[in-house]
Chain A
Amino acid sequence: MDTFPQPDQREALDSVVIRFAGDSGDGMQLTGSQFTHSTALMGNDLATFPDFPAEIRAPAGTTYGVSGFQIHFASHDIMTPGDAPDVLVAMNPAALKTNLGDLKSGGMLIVNNGAFIKGNLKKAGYEQSPLDDDSLSGYRVISLDIQAMTIAAVEEFNLGTKDALRSKNMWTLGLVLWLFGRDYQPTVEWLQQKFAKKPEIAGANVAALKAGHAYGETAELPSGIGPYEVPKAKLEPGAYRNITGNDALAWGLTAASQLAGVKLVLGSYPITPASSVLHALAKLKSFGVTTFQAEDEIAAVCAAIGASWGGALGITTTSGPGVALKGEAIGLAVMLELPLIVVDIQRGGPSTGLPTKTEQSDLLQAVYGRNGDSPLCVLAAATPGDCFYMAIEAARITTKFMTPVMLLTDGYLANGAEPWKIPKMADFEPFEVEFPTERPEGFHPYLRDPETLARPWAIPGTPGLEHRIGGLEKHFDSGNISYDPDNHHKMTKTRAAKVQGIAKDLPEQDITEGDASGDVLVVGWGSTYGAIVQAVRRAREAGGAVSHVHLRHLFPFPRKLGEHLRNFKKVIVPEMNNGMLSKMLRSEFLVDAQGVNKIAGQPFKVSEIEAAIAAALETVQ
C-alpha cells in the first residue's frame, strides 16, 4: 500500500459533486448543509440539491425512506448541483440501491458496511450483499463500519447504542471534510450552539466528527483515493453568504415592505415546500412583519387581501394545491384591484402529487387559473438568490399597478442553496406608496390613473373617502354596482389593458447568453436557469449558433421577446412540466416553440438540455 500523502500533496480538482444518502432518520440533510457551510467558507462556488421523501420518518431501511443531499462545488462559477455525483456516501443498502445508478463510473463510493445486515439488505431488495460480490467493481469503494467506529468514538459519553449511533452522520461528515480539505471547526461551533442545553449530545457529535476526520488523516486509504483540494473560485469581490430560495424570498418580501413604506402582513397555511417562508417571516416581527397562520389556504389569502385593503402589503405563500384553493379570492383581488402577492412554490402535481419534489407545472394555473377574464401579473425567480430580487419586483408592480402578482418559485429553488453576494439596501430604489387623503372632485374607488390605469389605494380610516368595493362588476364612471353589458365589456378590457401595460414598465427582454440571432434559441423560465446557461455555454463552445433567453416576467411578456423568437431558426423550451411556456409562446407569438419536457420531480441535468440542443441543431443544419 502507498503511504498516505501529506496535506501539500493533495490532488487539486476543478469541481466535485458529492451526494450524501441515507435513511431519512440518518441526518443526511444536516450533514449536507454543514458540508455546504464549510465549503462556502473555503471560497468555492457551490450549488446544492436536497432531495427528501414526503414521509417524516419512513420505515427505517426502506428505499422510499432514503433522503439525499447533493452538493456541487468548484473553483469556477457553477450553476447547478451537478448531473452525476463523483462521490456517493451510502449509509445503508437502500441508499446504495437508489443512488448507485447516478454515480459516475469510476466514482468514489463510501459505504457504511455496518448497516449491510440481512434485514436491511432484504428491505432494499438485495439477494446478497453487493459488498460481497463484484457488482461494485466499477467504483472506488471505501467500505467502513462507520457504526462501530462511531460507537467507539463516543464511548466516554455512555449514551447507549441507539443514541450513540445518532452521531454516525457526524463521523461521516468528518471523514468527507478531511477528504476534501475542509475545516471542521465551523461544524464544531454549530454543534455546540445547537446542543447548548445538552452538552453530552454536543460532546458526542463533536467526538464523532473529529474521529471521522482523524480516521482520514491516519488510516491508510486505498491507492488513488484522496485527499483532494478544490481551490477557491474567482467570485466577484464582496461579502457573501449561503442562501436558500425560501430564506431569500422571506428577506426580499421584508425588504420590499420597507421600500414600499408599508407594513407586511402575511396570511399563510402550512404546505410543503412553502412552510419555511412562513417560519422565516414569523421570526422577522422586529421589522414590523405580521404573520397569520390561517385556518386554511382560503382564509390565508383572504386575510392578505383584507390587509391590503387596510394599507398593508398583503402576501400569501403557498404551493400549487393552495393556489387552487385560493383561486376565487385571487379573482376577487383582480376585481377589487388591490395589491396582493401570491407566492407559489411549485411542487409535483396534480393534486397532492409529489409534495417534496420540484416541478414547474403551475404556470398555466398562475396565468389562467381563475373564473372569468381575470388577468394578473406573473413573475418567476431564476435562482435561490434571485428570489430576493423578484420578491421586491413583485411588490413594486403590485403597488404601482394595483393588481395581484403571482410569484413562482419551486421546491428546487426553495431548498437549494447557493453562495449569494449580499446586496446593500441603499442600492435599491424605494417605491413608497401614497394613500390619498383628500377627496378629489368626483371621487370613486375606480377612478384611474390615466397612465397606469391603476385605481387609488384609498384605505379605510380616511375621512371623506368612504367607499364600497366588492366582487360584483362596477361601473367605469361611478364605481357603483353595474350589470350594464357595455360597461362589463369595457371594464374587462380595462383590467386586461392595465395588466398588459406593465410590459411598458419593464426593461426589454435581453438575451441571457449568446447572440441576438442564430440557429437555436433556448427559452427558459424559473429554476432551469443554471442548467440551461451551462448547456448553452457548452453548445456555444462546440461552435453551435445557440442562444438563451430566460424569462423572469411571464405575464405580461417583456417587450422584444417576439423579435428574439423570430431571429432564430428553431426555438426550444425546456420545462419541468408537460409543455406550458411553450404553449404560451405559440399562442402569443405564433412561433413553432418546441417543448423539452422533464416531469420527473427532479431538476434538469445539464447533459439533458445539451442533448436537446444538439438534436435541435441537427434539424436546422
Chain B
Amino acid sequence: MSPSEPAKKLTRKDFVSDQDVRWCPGCGDYAILATIQRTLPKVGADPAKTVFVSGIGCSSRFPYYMNTYGFHSIHGRAPAFATGLKLTNPELDVWLITGDGDGLSIGGNHLMHILRRNVDVQMILFNNRIYGLTKGQYSPTSLVGLRSPSTPLGSVDMPVTPALLALGAGARFVARSVDTLAKHLGPTFIEAREHRGTSFIEVLQNCPVFHDGAWDHVKDKKRTSETMLMLEHGKPMLFGDKDGPQKGLRLKPNSLELEVVTVGEDGVSEADILVHDETNRPMAFLLAGLEPPTFPMALGVLLREPAPTYDASVLAQVEAAKQQGPTNLDELLHSGHTWTVE
C-alpha cells in the first residue's frame, strides 16, 4: 500500500492498543509484534487506514494488540475476509496474520487462492511447526517423527514447505525471516508493504511451550553464518564465517540442483557463485526448499515479480462498465421485452 502521510509523526506507542498481550512468556510472537509496531511509524503508516485481519490460533490474536483496525475472524478464512474488504476499499493497507495450522491446514485453500489472484495485502505466516492454542498437536509443517499429543508414536505426515507452496500457487512476492532477527524482519516487512499484490512472508517463530527450539538448527547463534543465507538482489549467494573460508551456492554441473561450495577450494572462485535474482522464479523454487543441515536457510526476498493486482483489476472493470452504462435502474427494469396493459 502506498503510505499516506498522517499529520503528526507517529511512534511505536501510537500502534500499541490498550489490551494486555496474552501470549506465553518467551513466545516469538512478542518479537514480531514489536517489530511491526516499530516499523509502521517509520514508513508513515496511518493507523486509520491500516487493517490487521487474522484467523484463529495464537498468532491470530495479533490484531487485538494493534491500535489500528483489526478483525479476528474464523479459522483459516482470513484471506477471504481480506479479499472482500479490499474489493470494497482498495485504499486500505491490509495485513493478514496467520500460522502454519491456520494458513496451511484449515485455510490452505484460501491461501492458495489469494496468492494466485494477487490481492494487494501482506500475508505473514507465523511458522512454529506446531498447534499452540489447542495445546501442542503436530501441524502441517511439523517434521516426520514429531511426538505430540495426537502423534504419541511420532508423526508420519510429510511436512509442507510454506514458501514452496506459495511459489507453486503463483505468489509474486515471497520472503522469509526470523522472529528474533528484528533488523532483518523489519526491513522485510517494509519490502512486503511496498510490493503491490499479495506479499507472502514466512516468519520462523518459536513456540517455547509446545515446540521449543524448532528452529534452533537455523537460529543457533554460534552457527548462523553456516545456517542462514541472507539474500540480496544482485549479490552472490555467499555465507559462512567471515574469518573462515567463504561458502556459496552454485548450480551443480549438468543438473538443476544447488550445491554448497567453498570459495578457493577445488578451483571455485567467487565468480562461480550464483548471483541472487529476485525476479527469477525457478531460482526462487530452488532456494525455498533449502534447509540445514545440508544447506543454509534462505532468508530475505526470494521472489519479487510485479503483476496487476486482483482488486485493482476487478475495480477497473467496474469503473469501465460504469462509463458505458446503463446506470439507471428504471431503464434496467424496462430492458428487453415489455408490454403495456391499458
Contacts and interface: CB of A to CB of B under 8 A. Distances in A.
B64 A481 contact: yes
A422 B334 contact: yes
B89 A239 contact: no
A294 interface: yes
Contacts of B266: none
A302 B342 CA distance: 47
Given A310-B85, A310-B92, A460-B51, A286 B71 contact: no
Interface in A452-499: 459-472, 480-481
Contact of A470 (B72, B89, B329): B72
B48 to A, nearest CB: 4
Given A462-B48, A470-B64, A472-B72, A306 B84 contact: yes
Contact of A251 (B88, B332, B337): B332
Contacts of A278: none
Contacts of A180: none
Interface in A176-219: 186
B340 interface: yes
Contact of B48 (A235, A286, A314, A463): A463
A468 B70 contact: yes
A460 B49 CA distance: 6
Interface in A315-340: 328-329, 332
Given A292-B84, A295-B110, A309-B71, A186 B337 contact: yes
Nearest to B336: A241
A68 B254 CA distance: 65
Interface string B85-119: 10111011000000000000000011011000000
Nearest to A316: B84
Contact of B88 (A263, A296, A471, A472): A263
Given A43-B339, A240-B340, A286-B324, A424 B70 contact: no
Contacts of B340: 237-240
A469 B318 CA distance: 29
B89 A461 contact: yes
Nearest to A286: B321
A236 interface: yes
A241 B336 CA distance: 8
Range of interface residues on A (Cβ < 8 Å): 35 or more
Given A241-B338, A302-B77, A292 B87 contact: yes
B342 A468 contact: no
Interface of chain A, helix or strand or loop or mixed? mixed
A332 B77 CA distance: 11
Contacts of B110: 295, 299, 302
A122 to B, nearest CB: 42
Interface string B317-342: 11001101111011011101111111
A422 B340 CA distance: 10
Nearest to B68: A466
A460 B69 contact: yes
A267 B84 contact: yes
A537 interface: no
A124 interface: no
Contacts of A329: 74, 77
A265 interface: yes
A306 B80 contact: yes
Which 5 residue pairs across A and B have the least CB separation, nearest first? Answer: A470-B72, A306-B84, A310-B88, A303-B84, A468-B70
Interface of B: 17, 19, 46-49, 51, 53, 56, 63-64, 66-74, 77, 79-85, 87-89, 91-92, 109-110, 112-113, 314-315, 317-318, 321-322, 324-327, 329-330, 332-334, 336-342
Interface of A: 37, 40-41, 43, 186, 235-242, 251, 254-255, 258, 263, 265, 267, 284-290, 292, 294-296, 298-300, 302-312, 314, 328-329, 332, 422-425, 459-472, 480-481
13 contacts: A40-B337, A43-B339, A241-B334, A258-B329, A265-B87, A286-B324, A292-B84, A299-B113, A303-B81, A306-B82, A307-B85, A468-B19, A468-B66
